[in-house]
């Protein structure tokens, strides 16, 4: 239900927690499964600003069908449970959730 997979390695005395299936389902649901993989979860050359938010009727129409809030919420659960490496990226794009633009 929570999307967690727990493996207990008695010999090594370790417990491994994973959300691979949950993250794969997020990628598939939001059609991110075909995107190019990066070694870092956020492109450090990208500068997101509020000025990139929606301004025209065409931009509003383009973003209307984007599941921006849902994607942020789904990724936020992953940041809390097993993927702290994407926390900065998720919190950065979450700042634009009230008026996201195509750049966000």
Residue-wise pLDDT for 85-95, tens only, equals 888 888 888 88
For the chain, give the mean pLDDT.
79
Mean pLDDT of 26-50: 77
Please check whether residue 9 lies inside any domain of the structure: yes
Q: How far apart are CA 90 and CA 79, in angstroms?
A: 8
Phi, psi of 6 (to 5 degrees): -115, 125
pLDDT at residue 27, rounded to an integer: 85
Please check whether residue 101 lies inside any domain of the structure: no
pLDDT at residue 55, rounded to an integer: 65
pLDDT at residue 102, rounded to an integer: 66
pLDDT at residue 53, rounded to an integer: 67
Please check whether residue 31 lies inside any domain of the structure: yes
Q: How far apart are CA 68 and CA 53, in angstroms?
A: 13
| Domain extent for 50 | 5-94
Domain count across the chain? 1
pLDDT at residue 41, rounded to an integer: 65
């Amino acid at each position: 239900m929570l999307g967690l997979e727990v493996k207990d390695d008695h010999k090594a005395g370790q417990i491994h927690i994973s959300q691979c299936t949950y993250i794969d389902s997020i990628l598939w649901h939001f059609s991110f499964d075909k995107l190019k993989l990066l070694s870092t979860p956020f492109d450090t050359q990208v500068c997101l600003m509020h000025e990139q938010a929606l301004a025209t009727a065409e931009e509003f129409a383009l973003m209307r069908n984007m599941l921006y809030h849902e994607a942020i919420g789904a990724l936020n659960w992953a940041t809390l449970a097993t993927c702290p490496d994407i926390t900065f990226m998720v919190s950065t794009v979450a700042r634009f959730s009230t008026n996201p633009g195509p750049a966000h």
